[in-house]
Structure 1
Amino acid sequence: MAATKLRRNRGFTLLEILVAIAIFALIGVASTGVLNSVIESDQLSEERFAKLEELQRAMLTIERDIMQMTNRSVRVNGEANSVVVSGGEDVMSSDAGGLAFVRSGWHNPQMLLPRSTLQSVGYRLQEQELQRVYGNYVDNVIGYEPKVRVLLSDIEDFQVSFLTDEEKVEDAEDWEEIYSSEVLPLAISVTISSKTFGEIRREFLVGGANSDE
């Protein structure tokens, strides 16, 4: 009777304790792995969401500028120039396609600032960055360096094409890849190749509504 009671009160053996420790260790390792996976997934989701917001802001900026495009030329090196829109390879010293024009609607409340409501803007690709190039004045003095705002990073290619005949809007082959004219085009197509989102193409009616492809 006493021997039976002693066996019941002897507690755990060393082997049982080691087995229990091993089980708890495995559970801890598995839990840590799951937690790290959840944290990494959350970080990737936040980074992708931030890039998506950046892309949306860039598209809204491009849309606003193109829809406010106006029939105004810019002096080149202080000399008169009749071209109102330029686009294609090497425009704006771009590594790919480029675009340059003048837009209206630049907010200047009660004309308090020493500038007009017109602004010369351009888009280009340099060092895998989609950049918006702009100045405070439409006709800047010789030697003036324009301001540069990076819209998107990790961009592999940037191309612009132009539509001048509304009867050919359905045919992608009729979009012109090089454009330099005294007349505004009917529509402008922008194609961005992103490492994150792949190829993105948007078509904008100049001075009107826009549509996606």
Structure 2
Amino acid sequence: MISMPNSHRRGFTLIEIMVAMAIFTLIGLASTGVLNSVINSDQLSSERFAKLEELQRAMLTIERDILQIVPRALRVNGEPVSAVISGGEDVLNSDADGLGFVRAGWHNPQMLLPRSTLQAIGYRLQEEQLQRLYGNYVDNVIGYEPKIKILLSDIEDFRVSFLTEVEQLEKPEEWEESYSNANIPIAISITLVSKTFGEIRREFILANGI
């Protein structure tokens, strides 16, 4: 028996193959674009989350230091000064405001370390970095350079202000922009201007100042 060829059987034409390849190419390009977008978004989220964690750590450090301020005067270049807190412009060679004081609560178990539990602390802005200055001793010798820890980067401004009267608490515009006194103020406010988070203001009520 002789079989007749099936006239309905045929392969893919060149045009059909090219169209299919073009469709798969478009799908591949679209998938790559979506994947790159997801990767970039995840990277941006990770970077922003890391900066948020850095900001939280910095604010906790600032809060811990300020809430433990004690009325202890310093020696600057070997000379005693009466002020227990100095803040405002031209303090600690800051590009903006600066803040200097002595804090308690520096852990020294059973006084085994050759230092006290007090620590001189300073905050300043240099090269868009919020820096924390500290040392092992409250009164340092002439020529001593404090240790520096960078708390935050990409900071455009750093401002401090001081509350000396309870009536000023609800009037931030009346807070004093500079302070150098033998008495602890009622409260201190810290304002940071970050390139990532914008303006951030925190106010700290000081128990020793009330």
Which structure 2 segments of 5+ residues have no match? none
Runs of 4+ in 1 over 4 A off after TM superposition: none
Q: How does 1:31-110 map to 2 (within 5 A)?
A: 31-110=31-110
The question of 1:116 aligning with 2:119 is answered no
Q: Which residue of 1 aligns with 2:23?
A: 23
Q: What SS class does the counterpart of residue 180 from structure 1 fall into?
A: strand
Q: What SS class does the counterpart of residue 176 from structure 1 fall into?
A: coil
Amino acid at match of 2:135: G
Question: What is the alpha-carbon distance in structure 1 between the residues aligned to residue 153 and residue 4 of structure 2?
Answer: 80
Q: Which residue of 2 aligns with 1:211?
A: none
Instruction: Render the CA deviation track for 1:137-178: whole Å, top value 9, x for unaligned.
Output: 000111111000000000000000000001221111220001
The question of 1:2 aligning with 2:4 is answered yes
Question: What is the alpha-carbon distance in structure 2 between the residues aligned to residue 61 and residue 203 of structure 1?
Answer: 14
Q: Identity, % of aligned pairs?
A: 72
Residue correspondences, number: 206
Instruction: Give the TM-score taking structure 1 as reference length.
Output: 0.94
Which structure 1 segments of 5+ residues have no match? 209-213
Q: What SS class does the counterpart of residue 133 from structure 1 fall into?
A: strand
Amino acid at match of 2:4: A
RMSD: 1.2
Amino acid at match of 2:54: E
Question: What is the alpha-carbon distance in structure 2 between the residues aligned to residue 99 and residue 207 of structure 1?
Answer: 18
Q: What SS class does the counterpart of residue 177 from structure 1 fall into?
A: coil
State the shift of 1:6 in Å. 4.2
State the shift of 1:180 in Å. 0.2
Q: What SS class does the counterpart of residue 92 from structure 1 fall into?
A: coil
Instruction: Render the CA deviation track for 1:38-65: whole Å, top value 9, x for unaligned.
Output: 0000000000000000000000000000
Q: What SS class does the counterpart of residue 203 from structure 2 fall into?
A: strand
Instruction: Give the TM-score taking structure 2 as reference length.
Output: 0.95
Instruction: Render the CA deviation track for 1:90-125: whole Å, top value 9, x for unaligned.
Output: 211000011000000000011111100000001000
Amino acid at match of 2:115: R
Amino acid at match of 2:193: S
Question: What is the alpha-carbon distance in structure 2 between the residues aligned to residue 107 and residue 154 of structure 1?
Answer: 31
Amino acid at match of 2:144: Y
Instruction: Render the CA deviation track for 1:11-46: whole Å, top value 9, x for unaligned.
Output: 211111111000000000000000000000000000
